[in-house]
């Protein structure tokens, strides 16, 4: 846990709409690393008390202490819950949010197993864990917290998807599908809140590659920002505009990721899908040490050499996008043998090799 110097933003208009009522709280799931940890610091800076979720009491306590070092007057509470548990047990979460004036929920926890694997190669338990952590748990969090968000003032629910949830991503198929679930679930929920006339904004945020200090190492770059930078961009993207007071339901907050997505969206679907597919095959091959030759030849090595996949991170989606996108995307291109992967957050996930220094969004 790093020491941070976080400026006090509690008078900023950015999230002012949600700082309603006495002692407003924000819930952040997966708050012990990466973007979740960055959300914790940023939301404390914006004047919110925190309910931090994670699976490790020690890590949660460390994040709490770091937040309190910057903002000693915030009320920071902890909720320990395994997001992979089946059946999910929501009692801890229900008990945690019950007494709070909950105004913001960041449904952040999630990730891939850190591997490039076909569905047939994935151990069944990993497959189930990934779907549970990425899709079932956030759905449960939404069900438990929406009633709280609806009462006492404007509320905000942020559901973290991924660019990998927009286009089919072979070899991280389960991850990609679960992130597509996040996106459609979030946008459908947005529609429900509109139809019900509530004051709750439901927003899906889609990151590309982001440094999380684990699978995604690095100092940050235009294509692969630091978690803290990505969160700053996300807050700016949610903030009211003169022409729009409430946020859009789907946002790619980081500019370089947004340009990449916009570029891919200009292409016919078959071409965009084929670019993703080629990149995924190349990343999978690189993760197995098959080499770059296949990548250079444009289609990836089709041999699908069976190997014992190490705990390579999967930052794939972004790298794919990066190759398709204009020049800046290439700056972080994966070095030989590196398997970029992004969201390694997931649960049953093993330690990830720091192979993904790279990535481009
Ligand atoms: N980083 C990227 O490039 C990227 C790109 C696209 C989308 N995303 C999405 O953004 C979100 C955050 O990603 P990140 O890279 O910041 O993640 P991360 O650094 O790997 O952190 C993941 C967080 O989730 C927690 N977590 C994982 N499994 C859990 C479980 N079973 N129960 C409870 N907590 C669990 C981790 O706890 P521990 O500290 O105990 O492991 C950690 O706090 C994820 O939804 C991810 O899919 C990330």
Give 266 Cα–ligand 1 centroid separation in angstroms: 30
Ligand 1 contact via 32 beta carbon (within 6 Å): yes
Q: Could you tell me what percent of the chain has a pLDDT over 70?
A: 78
pTM for the model = 0.84
Q: Tell me: the pLDDT tens digits for 147-172?
A: 999 998 899 999 999 999 999 999 99
Beta bridge partners of 341: 315
What is the structure's pLDDT at 322?
A: 44
> Quick one: pLDDT band at residue 325, thresholds 50, 70, 90?
very low
Sheet containing 155-160: give its strands across.
76-80, 49-54, 24-28, 101-107, 155-160, 200-205, 250-251
Q: Which domains does the chain have, with CATH numbers?
A: 16-254 (3.40.50.720)
Q: Hey, whose CA ends up nearest to atom 36 of ligand 1?
A: 30
What is the structure's pLDDT at 318?
A: 43
Q: Tell me: the pLDDT tens digits for 188-231?
A: 999 999 999 999 999 999 999 999 888 788 899 999 999 999 99
Ligand 1 contact via 56 beta carbon (within 6 Å): yes
Ligand 1 contact via 140 beta carbon (within 6 Å): no
Nearest alpha carbon to residue 324 among 290, 355, 282: 282
Are 30 and 116 a contacting pair, CB within 8 Å?
A: no
Q: Tell me: the pLDDT tens digits for 27-78?
A: 999 999 999 999 999 999 999 999 999 999 999 999 999 999 999 999 999 9
Burial of 168 (0-12, 13-18, 19+ CB in 10 A): middle
Q: What residues contact residue 133 under an 8 Å CB cut-off, 6+ apart?
A: 83, 84, 109, 110, 111, 346, 347, 348
Give 186 Cα–ligand 1 centroid separation in angstroms: 18
């Amino acid at each position: 846990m790093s020491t941070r110097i976080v400026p006090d933003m509690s008078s900023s208009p950015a999230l002012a709409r949600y700082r309603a009522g006495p002692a407003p709280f924000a819930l952040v799931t997966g708050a012990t690393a990466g973007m979740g940890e960055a959300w914790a610091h940023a939301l404390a800076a914006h004047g919110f008390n925190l309910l931090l979720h994670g699976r490790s009491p020690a890590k949660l306590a460390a994040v709490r202490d770091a937040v309190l070092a910057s903002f000693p007057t915030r009320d920071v509470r902890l909720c320990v819950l395994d997001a992979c548990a089946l059946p999910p047990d929501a009692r801890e979460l229900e008990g945690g949010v019950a007494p709070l004036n909950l105004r913001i929920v960041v449904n952040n926890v999630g990730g891939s197993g850190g591997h490039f694997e076909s569905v047939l190669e994935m151990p069944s338990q990993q497959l189930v864990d990934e779907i549970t952590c990425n899709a079932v748990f956030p759905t449960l969090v939404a069900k438990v917290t929406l009633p709280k968000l609806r009462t006492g003032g404007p509320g905000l629910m942020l559901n973290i998807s991924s660019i990998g949830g927009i286009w089919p991503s072979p070899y991280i198929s389960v991850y990609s599908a679960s992130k597509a679930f996040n996106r459609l679930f979030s946008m459908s929920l947005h529609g429900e809140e509109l139809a019900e006339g509530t004051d709750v904004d439901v927003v899906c945020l889609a990151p590309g590659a982001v440094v999380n200090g684990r699978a995604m190492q690095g100092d940050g770059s235009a294509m692969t920002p630091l978690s803290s930078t990505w969160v700053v961009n996300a807050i700016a993207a949610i903030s009211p505009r003169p022409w729009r007071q409430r946020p859009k339901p789907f946002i790619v907050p980081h500019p370089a990721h947004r340009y990449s997505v916009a570029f891919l969206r200009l292409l016919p679907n078959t071409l965009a899908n084929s670019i993703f597919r080629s990149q995924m095959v190349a990343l999978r091959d690189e993760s197995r040490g098959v080499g770059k030759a296949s990548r250079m030849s444009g289609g990836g090595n089709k041999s699908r050499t069976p190997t014992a996949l190490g705990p390579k991170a999967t930052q794939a989606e972004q790298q794919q996008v990066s190759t398709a996108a204009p020049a800046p995307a290439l700056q972080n291109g994966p070095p030989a043998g590196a398997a970029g992967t992004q969201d390694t957050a997931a649960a049953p996930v093993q330690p990830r090799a720091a192979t993904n220094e790279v990535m481009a969004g």
